[in-house]
Amino acid sequence: MDQPITMKNNGQINVILNGQKKKLKVVNPSSPEPVPKRSHVKHAALKEIEDEMNALVGMDEIKRVVKEVYAWIYINKKREEQGLKPGKQALHMMFKGNPGTGKTTVARLLGKLFFQMNVLSKGHLIEAERADLVGEYIGHTAQKTRDLIKKALGGILFIDEAYSLARGGEKDFGKEAIDTLVKHMEDKQHDFVLILAGYSKEMNHFLSLNPGLYSRFPLVVDFPDYTVDQLMDIASRMLVEREYVFSKEAEWKFRDHLYSIKQDSPGTSSFSNGRYVRNIIEKSIRAQAMRLLLSESEEREELMTIKNQDLILKD
């Protein structure tokens, strides 16, 4: 039997055993493998949120605001580590914009970011509206509001159409809900984040009725309506996700319809943006299914294509 013969060669050992030549790597305990640099994960929380936000159409201003909030929190932590006085600014926010402009989606992403940065202990999102806060008798509203805040502790309380809390005047129980929210915003300002959302015009009126509220929301973010090109991009992404495509005729018809809608109601709250597009897509998919059922067409291309006659548009 052949005897093993070894020879060092550029950090390897050539081994000849039983007539076969093999190479083995030499490991020198005094020269360990280099440790990978961790700089690429230094801002992993921000990168993850940015990746998710970049998957959303538009929102350039909102993306900039999110990055600013991240920078403020991160630098505050570094100041604290160096013995400097950290800022204690509350993160309560106001989102102003029409329906379907991504307000709830951004609120959910912020909860995730704040959790990853240890600003919030849970990062969950509690969605609410007037009926969830306003009770039917004196004292009932305050209790309902406190219970809702308790559920939101460690996360974000998102109140949509918040201006409706002030619609009944001084004797309405909505005022009691506002007073309770304001108190807990101060007492538990670092235990949860409150986001009030609604139409721009109505939210501005709401603030004028409650001037003390404005100073309690250091972050006011405007969510603009989508352009027609952005709405078409949203439609395309929805179709791709569901494995459908528009025919050329359907695509032109939908684009023309969006131009018409935007011209008829520029900047008004009657158009629900991304939500409107999603509703059209879902109705059209059902219409396509009915057409294919009646025609008994089951070819792959037919199953994927939304045609002109499938497009169900609101008048």
Beta bridge partners of 197: 95
pLDDT at residue 306 is higher than 80: yes
Co-location of 238 and 175 in the same domain: no
Edge-to-edge strands, sheet with 5-9: 5-9, 12-17, 20-25
Average per-residue pLDDT for the chain: 82
Number of Cβ within a 10 Å radius of residue 90: 15
- Confidence at residue 292, expressed as pLDDT on a 0 to 100 scale: 94
Residue 244: inside a domain, yes or no? yes
Per-residue pLDDT at 99 exceeds 90: no
For 205-276, strand residue ranges (E) read: 219-223, 245-246
Structure confidence by residue, pLDDT tens digits, 20-34: 555 555 444 444 444
Give 236-288 pLDDT, tens digit per residue.
999 999 999 999 999 999 999 998 888 776 555 556 788 899 999 999 999 99
Which pLDDT belongs to residue 23? 57
Same domain, 62 and 183: yes
Per-residue confidence band for 140, with pLDDT thresholds at 50, 70 and 90: confident
272 and 287 share one domain: yes
Domain span holding position 243: 228-310
Per-residue confidence band for 104, with pLDDT thresholds at 50, 70 and 90 = very high
Strands (E), 125-275: 125-128, 156-159, 193-198, 219-223, 245-246
36 confidence band (pLDDT: 50, 70, 90)? very low
The candidate with the shortest Cα–Cα distance to 12, out of 20, 1, 22, 2, is: 22
Domain match, 60 and 146 both: yes
Out of 188, 204, 223, a domain closes at 223
CATH number at residue 255: 1.10.8.60
Flag whether 37 is in a domain: no
Residue 81 scores a pLDDT above 90: no
DSSP E strands, the chain:
5-9, 12-17, 20-25, 93-97, 125-128, 156-159, 193-198, 219-223, 245-246, 305-306
- Domain assignment present for residue 44? The answer is no
Domain ends where: 223, 250, 266? 223
* Domain co-membership, 218 together with 126: yes
What is the reported pLDDT for 7? 46
Q: Are 196 and 103 in contact (CB under 8 A)?
A: no
Nearest residue to 130 (alpha-carbon basis) of 104, 163, 85: 163
Please check the confidence at residue 40 and state whether its pLDDT lies above 50: no
Of 188, 223, 258, the last residue of a domain is 223
What predicted TM-score, i.e. pTM, was given to this entire model?
Answer: 0.76
Assign 50 a pLDDT band (cuts: 50, 70, 90).
confident
**Do 65 and 197 belong to one domain?**
yes
Together in a domain, 209 and 297: no
Task: Please count the structural domains in the chain.
Answer: 2
Predicted confidence (pLDDT) at residue 148 exceeds the cutoff of 50: yes
